[in-house]
Structures are given as C-alpha cells and as structure tokens.
Chain A
Amino acid sequence: MSLLDVQGLDAGYGDLQILTDVDLHVDEEEYVTIVGPNGAGKSTMMKSVFGLTTHMDGTVTFAGEDITAAQPEDIIHKGMGYVPQSDNVFAGLSVQENLEMGAYILDDVPQDALQDVYNRFPILEERNDQKAGTMSGGQQQMLAMGRALMLDPDLLLLDEPSAGLAPDLVDEMFDKIDEINESGTAILMVEQNAKEALRRCDRGYVLANGENRFVDSGTTLLNDEEVRREFLGG
C-alpha cells in the first residue's frame, strides 16, 4: 500500500478549480517529482495534499488514513512535513528558534532530532543564534527543510527547493535532498529545474493544466520524445 495516495482529486481555491481528476501516489521511502509548465497546478497539488486548498472531489489517503478533510495541524501529527516555496522561515526568530518551532507539537524539543538537523546542515549549527531573516536564500532554504525535519516525517513535501538559489548551490541542495531520502524519508517535490529533478528521482509526474499528463520513472520521462519536446525544452 502506498504511503500517500491521491485519487481523482479536484481542488482549488474557493470557487476556482485548479486541479482536475489528479491521481498520484508516493510509496514509502520513494522519491517522487512533479514537473510541468508554470501554472500547471504543481504548487496547488502540494497544498492540496497538506490540506491548504478547497477540496471539491476525490480522496487523499496518508498512511492508511483518509486525510481529505484534515487540517494542516492534524496532518503534521501524522508524519508529513511541508516546506513552502517562499516565506518559509520565521524571519525574526533565530535559527535555533525556527527549528524549535518545527517541533512545537512535541512537549520538549527533541535534542537528537535537532542534532541530526545540525549534522545534516552544519551551517545552521554555526549560525544558530543568527536571525533567520538575515541569512542568504540558500541558508533559509536549508533552515526551512531543517524545520520540517525536526519531527522526522515519513513524507516531506518540497515546493521548488532550488528556486532562487545560486547555480552552484542548486547541486548541493539536490544532494541534500538525496541524503534525506536515503535516510528513509519519502519525498514529494515540485521543481522547475525539471531535468535535474527527473534525473534524481525514482518516479516523476508531468502535470499540465491541472491534469496528469505522464507518469513514469524519472529516466523514462527524461528520454520520452514527447515529454522532452513539450516540457523539457527539447
């Protein structure tokens, strides 16, 4: 059984429908990418999984439980973490305080999880007293991921983790995501850097106009004539 299973999802904001009949699943420890043109509904898909949109039809199941109507604060308890694309750190809080907020739902800050995050992103430990808002975009992105990892989620949703990063940092970011996945966390990622994302993931979805167009392994999609022509720029 899949960890995350989305079936026939229609969703959007208020009366505005963005997604039409989307199916998607993520297995345990799997690394899945959603690619597609701008406005395809990729970010809406992520928000819908996390209970942040209006669901019109279809179901979302996570770890065997129906979470279609669940609120974000319930979903986080079930072992899913979400890193939005922008405004994803508390700018006025220090690095360490941001990480503590990530574990807010626990009674105490889990010291081992905190240490794991610091080991994974040494820059965060170096700067643990710095205000998050004064850090570079790449460091903020790492902090946002670290915050989501504080609860050691089974599934991590990443919305455009490489957006706005300097080119030399993009590779580093993808390496970090590989590492997170290798340590047992399933990943569902939206990326505009489609080729690199498909190269690294286990499976990919191509989303266009709010609908699923292709589903296959990353390498198959990369080599597919039509996908290349229409979505990857040749």
Chain B
Amino acid sequence: MGVSERYSRGRQFVVEQPLALVVGLVVIWMAWFLVEGLVTGRLQVNNVLGYLWDGLLRGLIIGLAGIGLSMTYSILNFANFSHGDYITSGAFAGMAVSYLVAGFGEADIGSLLLVGAGGSVFGGALGVGIATSPIGIIAGMVVAAIATIALSLVIDRFVYKPIRDESGIALLITSVGVAFALRYLIVFVFGSRVRGTTAAGSQPQLRLVAVDGYLTINAHDVTLLVVAVGLMLGVHFLLQRTKLGKAMRAMSDNEDLARITGIPTEQVVRSTWIVGGGLTGVAGYMFVLWKGTVGFNDGWLLLLLIFAAVILGGIGSIYGAIAGGIVIGLTASMSVIWIPSEFGRAAAFLVMILILLFKPQGLFSGRTTA
C-alpha cells in the first residue's frame, strides 16, 4: 500500500466517520490520562478500583430495576413513567418493616412504621443492617417485593387496564400522572425529609489490599451483589425454562398469535406485573439499604438513569436492561476520574447517546424480553 493510497484512505475515514474519529481520540486521551495519572501518582489505584466497584453495584441496581420497566414495555407496549415511584414505594414499605423488626420495643410502632418521619427514630440508632438485624433486612426485602406487587396490580387494574387499548402516548401521560400521585402520597405519609436508614458503621467490612491502599467492601455491598445477581439469574431461568416465561416471551413477540394459540394473555399480563413489580420493589429496597439513606425522590431520580440503561440495552430486552444498567452505573461512577463528579449523570447520558448513534437499536436490539 503506497503512501498516497494510505493518505486517501485516512482522508476518507476522516470525512465519512468524523464522529468515530472524535470518539476514538477522546478514548485515547482518556486512556492516556488514566495511565499517566496512575504512573505519576495523581490517581490512586485503590480509588480507581473503588469507583469501579461502586459503579458495578450502582449498575446492578439500575439493571435490576430496569428489568421490570423493560418487561412491562415489551409485553404491554408502554413506557411506564411511574416505575421510579414504584421503586420508592418498595423502598419505604421495606424500610418500614426493617425499622419495625430492628426497633421493636425500643420505640413506638407508629414512628417505626413511618420510617422515623419527623426525626422521631433513626435507623442508625435502631441498628438497621444486614449484620445487626438480618431478619429485619430479609423481612424488609420480602415486604418491599410484596407491597410493590400489590401496588402495581392495583394500579394496573384501576388505571392502566381500562385504557390499555388506547395509544401508547395516552398510557405514557397517564403513567406520569400516576408517578406524581404516588410520589406525593409518599410525601404525605412518610414526609419529605431525606433520612439515614442504616447503622452503616456497625456492619462488618472487608479491606482488600489494593497496591497503594485499600478497597473497602462492606456487608451491604455484598448483600446487594448476592441479591441482584441471584434475582437476575432467577429471571433468566424463568424466561428460558418455565412455561410462564416462555409464554411471556411469546406474548412480547406476537400478542395476536399468542391469543389464537390459547395463551391466556390477561393472566400473562398479570404475571408480568407480579414479576416486574417484585423485582422493582426489591431493587428499591436494596438501593436505600446500600446507600444508607431514603427520600421520596430516590426512585424518580433513578428512573432517568434506568431509562438510559434500558434504551441503551435495547428497550424490551431484559439482558439489555442488565447490560445497559452496568454500563450506565460504571460510567456515572468512573467519570469522576476525568471530570468533576457533578457531571457523572451527564456523562452517563452522553455514553447512552454515543452508543445509540453507533447502534441505534441498542446493544441487544431486536431481542424482545429474551
């Protein structure tokens, strides 16, 4: 290959793929910045590993919460904007039970069930945490799932089901209304104050030696990892191996054919809300357990990242939701290496846009639910 030929090829690439070129240059700069930083000691290896670990866990939460959103999208064909407030509902319902179990006898039941509304009791003082009150955490997780399932079934029955045959836009706008209604119902009951929930300092932690420091892994990190990965494997098993899961995939493929094949579609819709609602509730509970605070806006703020993850993964695919969640989580956490931390969310959306520019249908495009 001659010099002129090589030159013209390079020129062609620059002209036809300017975006790819820019992205390539930015990636090279980022890699250089990272390596240079580590070599000169401007960045510490243990910090970078910490961002990675934090991003992975954040990604697992986003992915777990995204599965429910993706499932209802692929089977009911609508983007549920109230999903974020289902997350918050699950978080509060679960925490109420964890407070009750951890603080039973120490404070009055009303304050405990209201998750210490008005500063009446504090989760940290009650010893809410996986090591200090394991039964409270397990009970909280179960109740978070059950409460969110009940909530999504009730809302579906009285709000979404009657308008299911309307356009997607009507459903979407309705779901925004449901989102606000739920959020301010939560404020009404539990108050608007963001409060600490766990006795984080009393949980055991693991300090791993990481070159120039330590990577700290605490008990709630491990709880989140185990629960999220376990549930994701469970959903995979459900969809691939069980009759109900196969029917869900069949219905997301072709609803009319599902009906004439004799699949009870209404029952499948209900099962979808049950599975999706349960996962969403647990995701909300794990989120507030892991970060150690709970507030009425938690789910709504997370929802934007969840949408980014689900769209990035290929909306409708649960594997896409998981992969997208991890990409978004890692981006949001690791971006602080290069840019100020306030821009972490912006970086996550930028990555989403870039991936969609190169792969418009998302990472797992064309794979509905499966």
List residues of chain A with CB under 8 Å of any chain B CB: 50, 52, 72-73, 76-77, 82, 84, 87-93, 97, 100-102, 104-105, 147, 151
Contact = CB atoms under 8 A, between A and B. Distances in A.
A101 B261 CA distance: 7
B253 A92 contact: yes
Given A87-B254, A92-B368, A92-B370, A82 B260 contact: yes
Contacts of A77: 262
B83 interface: no
B262 A76 contact: yes
Of the candidates B254, B264, B367, B370, the one having the most CB atoms from chain A within 10 angstroms of its own CB is B254
Given A100-B246, A101-B247, A93 B253 contact: yes
Interface residues of B, number: 21
Interface string B219-246: 0000000000000000000000001001
Contacts of A89: 257
Nearest to A148: B261
A75 B325 CA distance: 43
Interface of B: 243, 246-247, 249-250, 252-254, 256-264, 367-370
B185 to A, nearest CB: 37
A50 B261 contact: no
B243 A100 contact: yes
B257 A104 contact: no
B259 A93 contact: no
A115 B367 CA distance: 29
Given A72-B260, A87-B257, A91-B253, 16 more contacts: A52-B260, A73-B262, A76-B260, A84-B256, A90-B250, A90-B253, A90-B257, A92-B253, A92-B367, A92-B369, A92-B370, A93-B249, A93-B250, A93-B253, A101-B246, A104-B243
B261 A102 contact: yes
22 contacts: A52-B260, A73-B262, A73-B263, A76-B260, A76-B261, A76-B262, A84-B257, A87-B257, A88-B257, A89-B257, A90-B253, A90-B258, A91-B253, A93-B249, A93-B253, A97-B249, A101-B250, A101-B261, A102-B261, A104-B243, A104-B262, A105-B262
Nearest to A105: B262
A72 to B, nearest CB: 5
